[in-house]
A and B are shown apart, each in its own frame.
Chain A
């Protein structure tokens, strides 16, 4: 069977969930071969193997951390040359897309970004995209070269599928021309202990209606009662009430959880662009005309400072 390269997104060998989703999608079009760049490939190989990776191509070089993006393109290209895959799948993060684009150009292939589904087709993999703030669904394929496709988080449920997951070292030469952009320093993001926004099954977001950083604990308390991640609208972020890393929308994170709860958010097109594919949408807003209500499965017209704490209490009671 044809092999499919899957680019592994990980933090020091701790594989992030979108990669497991990619492995699930990759198995529909071939045999997944994972590409792990950086430290602790052996740790990663275990979980990658459990999710269907027949092989893990591993390379570690200081250049991956010292220079931006380009050395990783060199490595992925080496994996491509070693395997001659039927397709290459990467996560749709900013970096994943940049690596994908440069690889596609080098190998003379087309690229599709932000797929929400990938299936086998008669003329190669068919990617589904959700475009124009999720108002259209398109089906696309790549007509030249080896399909390079980036996939959004939460596009598939990771399935267990035991495979060998054997680690093989990949020889990588980082070109001098790939050492153009120095990473002078890196400050890792502090963990809040809450689930990662893009990976969470439930997201609770607050907007301008939260009216101040001091009030965000109201949103956090609901999130914690549900085991959810916390999101924010750009208005809340721009006002300095919540970090930009939590922004949901076109220029923030794109989320697609099982449940999205928007409190004090009007539902501007740029916000919708990041959450409209959520499975169940709930809104709390005191303005019954707010556009967010056009999207909801359940909406409460009311003051969030009444509704959210009452909901939090109720969740806690029910969960015991």
Chain B
């Protein structure tokens, strides 16, 4: 029996660019180059390792996003995923976390799965809630924030490093997993991988295919509303001194002036 893995990957504006909001207070995606969220590369990597350890497994990468999000899928395919699903629909513009989880869950069910692998958080919204929402919607175990993961005998096990403790987790498949950037460096696509990716199938789905009404998603359907976004004023230039033997003392003087000592 083949192990069906679905990896959720998000296409995000490059964090090193100048990110902005558009007039409708959604993310301005034209302004900055987009890419596969770096944290989702770790998800693809772990899926590939799980596949390599399994007898027979297939990896589908799934994204919900605009036309350009295809780039994120191609990157994941060139790393070694087998096929891709792209959910794209104009009515998705401005969808919030609950709406996104609805679309992802329906697409995952349609694709068929034994294991869903996500990143720990996107690099734009950075909510870190989608994996938990997917587990709730799909009614399967959530095995999240893992720094180590393995799948064997129909079970997924992993290590979760929490705030106050480290936990070893275990769940039966099907399950939703999310992995952190401690799970191991993601591989670079090889030339062969990049060439092969061009021939791999990308299935395109819209809301109708997933039997989702337009008013369940998008800005109109959102459960949350952004009323305002203001750019943080540039910090007023601070004092900068060169250490010529007195740097430590000068800094102490500053800290004392600010009542820290």
Q: Which residues of A contact B (CB under 8 A)?
A: 11, 68-70, 73, 93-95, 97-98, 100-102, 104-106, 109-114, 126, 130-145, 177, 180-189, 198, 202, 226, 244-245, 250-251, 258-259, 269-270, 273, 280-282, 284, 288, 293-303, 306-315, 318-319
Bound Cα distance from A251 to B250, whole angstroms:
33
Enumerate 6 A-B pairs (CB-CB under 8 Å) in ascending A order: A109-B223, A113-B129, A226-B261, A245-B161, A251-B120, A319-B261
- The interface residues of chain A lying within 8 Å CB-to-CB of B231 are 135-136
- Bound together, the chains give a CA A226 to CA B147 distance in angstroms of 33
On whether A299 and B241 interact (CB within 8 A), knowing A251-B120, A315-B261, the answer reads: yes
The number of chain B residues with a CB under 8 A from chain A is 81
Name the one of A105, A144, A280 contacting B258, with C-beta atoms under 8 angstroms: A280
A116-B126 Cα distance, complex, nearest whole Å: 14
Most buried by A among B162, B164, B230: B164
For residue B57, CB closer than 8 A to chain A, the reply is: no
Taking beta carbons and an 8 Å cutoff, which residues of B are in contact with A? 15-16, 19, 21, 25, 39, 96-98, 101, 120-121, 123-124, 126-129, 131-133, 135-137, 139-145, 147, 157, 160-172, 175, 180-182, 222-232, 235, 238-243, 245, 247-252, 254-256, 258, 260-261
Residues of A within 8 A of B15 (CB): 132-133, 269-270, 273
Pick from A101, A145, A226, A282: contact of B136, CB under 8 Å: A101
Q: Beyond A94-B162, A177-B139, is A311–B251 a contact (Cβ under 8 Å)?
A: yes
Q: Is the interface of B mostly helix, strand, loop or mixed?
A: mixed
Interface of A is mostly: mixed
Lowest 7 CB-CB distances: which A-B pairs, in order?
A: A310-B248, A302-B243, A110-B223, A180-B141, A314-B252, A101-B129, A98-B132
User: Which of A73, A112, A244, A298 has its CB near the most chain B CB atoms (within 10 A)?
Assistant: A298
- Report the nearest A residue to B250, measured CB to CB: A300
Give the complex CA separation of A142 and B134 in angstroms: 20
User: Do A315 and B252 have beta carbons less than 8 Å apart?
Assistant: yes
Interchain CA distance A126-B168 in the complex, whole Å: 38
Contact A183 B167 (CB under 8 A): yes
What residues of chain A lie closer than 8 Å to B256, measured between beta carbons?
Answer: 318
CA of A315 to CA of B251, assembled, Å: 10
Please determine whether B98 and A105 come into contact, CB atoms closer than 8 angstroms: yes
Chain B residues, CB < 8 A from A106: 136
**Residue on A with the closest CB to B156?**
A181
Contact A180 B98 (CB under 8 A): no
B247 touches A181 (CB 8 A): no
| Cross-chain contact A137 with B163 (CB below 8 angstroms) | no
Contacts of A303 in B (CB 8 A): 243
Which residue of the partner chain A has the closest CB to B245? Answer: A306
Tell me the minimal C-beta distance from A217 to chain B in angstroms: 17
Report chain A residues within 8 Å CB of B181: 251
Cβ contact of A181, chosen from B170, B222, B238, B245, cutoff 8 A: B170
Contact of B169 among A73, A183, A202, A294 (CB under 8 A): A183
